[in-house]
Amino acid sequence: MGIVATIIFYAFIFWVAVQCGYACYFFVRILWLKDTAKADGIQGLKPVSIIICARNEAENLEKYLPKVLSQKYLTDSADAAFEVIVVNDASTDGTEAVLNRLKENYKQLRTVTISAGDERTLKAKNFALSMGVQSANYDWLMLTDADCYPASENWLSKMVAPLCKGKEIVAGFGAYTATGGLLNAFSRWENVHAFLQMATYYQAGKPYMAVGRNLVCTKSMMKRAIDTPTWDAIASGDDDLLVNLFATPTNYTVVSDPESFTYSGTKQSLGEYIQQKQRHLSVGKLYKPGIQRLLGAYGFTHAATWFYFVMLAFTGYLPLAACILGTRCALYWSLWAVTAIRLKDYKLIALFPLFDFGWMLYNFAFTPYILFKSKKSWK
């Protein structure tokens, strides 16, 4: 075997060692993730303002908003202990008509309308969100999207329960519905993988992300974020930016109770998916430097592990390299399986080998958007 093959083999061992060390330090913590969403017996639950920013979302609001408005989060007199504020951001479809109809049946529904010609003090969705926060009557804010629906009627109570224990930012899981097809399955796997990172970084005392379609925070925290100059640097990713600006190991937590999930659909075409990822990943360059280095090292070594293994497949090192890679895969796939089971997406487990390799291609494709580009629109 030549010297080049030998160098590749030892580099491969190094990448695998880093991957295994990363999993043993971070991902293994998923085994001890505690449920912080228990609301039973908690004293001090307060009224909540649910904020939804919507642009041309008439169909989704018609379908999903009643599930948000029907939450079992009630006062002693059985009235809704929450308000729902829908910010209608210059919609040109039937959004306004849908909201007006729903207001006839749900007195807790309020609307804020932004016209196309209104002056905007912030870019894109950031302005709509700021208007919703400004209009909120209560100190606890629940953020979600128009194309989402809660997993249960206890969603709100589960998500805000940690606030009673002194938390200021609560990150929930925004699940994707299973509709068939490889793109849908990969999107769901990527989502489970992102939750694994979010939860285990939090457990390691390094909170860095949240999901904007299922996020709770205090009003004062959100106002501080909106007033930060960095807030208007991107058009999307306000959820992650809020966490990176103000989350600490003591004021932030992750909720994983299945009743606390929200559900939404995945993108139906590859073009839509790429556009979505370009928008979401642009916030990565605003993460704290230490988090950027950790995530970068993880993504790089993941891609290098598979790339170097492919090169070794044409050398005499293949049998030994396969054994080494098999050990790494057994560790990763086991931890991914634990996470998928916890998040009630069992069907993904059989596809782990394909998506493990596919994530190498994902990292190569989207690195420019993580490092350099920032999308300026949210729809």
Complete DSSP assignment for 206-242: ------TTSEEEEHHHHHHHHTSGGGGG-SS-HHHHH
In the chain, which residues fall in CATH 3.90.550.10?
35-271
- List Cβ neighbours of 110 (8 Å cut-off, separation of 6 or more): 83, 84, 85, 86, 135
- What percent of the chain is predicted at pLDDT more than 90? 74
* 227-248: average pLDDT: 83
Q: Quote the strand ranges of the chain, DSSP E.
A: 48-54, 82-89, 109-114, 140-145, 149-150, 169-171, 174-176, 215-218, 252-254, 262-264
At 217, is the pLDDT very low, low, confident or very high (cuts 50, 70, 90)?
Answer: very high
Structure token pair of residue 24: 């043993």
Cβ-based neighbour number of residue 209 at 10 Å: 26
* 228-244: average pLDDT: 80
Q: Which residue has the tokens 């002194």?
A: 166
Handedness of CA 290, 194, 209, 268 (dihedral sign): positive
Q: Are 201 and 208 in contact (CB under 8 A)?
A: yes
Domain 35-271's class?
Answer: alpha beta
Output 55 or 238, whichever has higher pLDDT.
55
Question: What pLDDT digit, counting tens, does each position of 322-371 carry?
Answer: 999 999 999 999 999 999 999 999 999 999 999 999 888 877 766 655 54
At 147, is the pLDDT very low, low, confident or very high (cuts 50, 70, 90)?
Answer: very high
pTM above 0.85, yes or no: yes
At 232, is the pLDDT very low, low, confident or very high (cuts 50, 70, 90)?
Answer: confident
Q: Which residue has the tokens 């194309």?
A: 147
Structure token pair of residue 255: 């909720």
Can you tell me the distance from the alpha carbon of 6 to that of 325, in angstroms, rounded to the nearest whole number? 16
Question: What pLDDT digit, counting tens, does each position of 152-183 carry?
Answer: 999 999 999 999 989 999 999 999 999 989 99
Quick one: pLDDT at residue 271?
80
Is the backbone of residue 194 left (phi > 0), alpha (psi -120 to 50) or beta? Answer: alpha
Q: Under DSSP, is residue 44 helix (H, G, I), strand (E, B) or coil?
A: coil
Classify burial at 308, counting beta carbons within 10 Å of its beta carbon; exposed 0-12, middle 13-18, buried 19 or more.
buried
Q: Are 33 and 343 in contact (CB under 8 A)?
A: no
Question: What pLDDT digit, counting tens, does each position of 39-58 carry?
Answer: 555 556 799 999 999 999 99
Can you tell me the distance from the alpha carbon of 41 to that of 221, in angstroms, rounded to the nearest whole number? 26
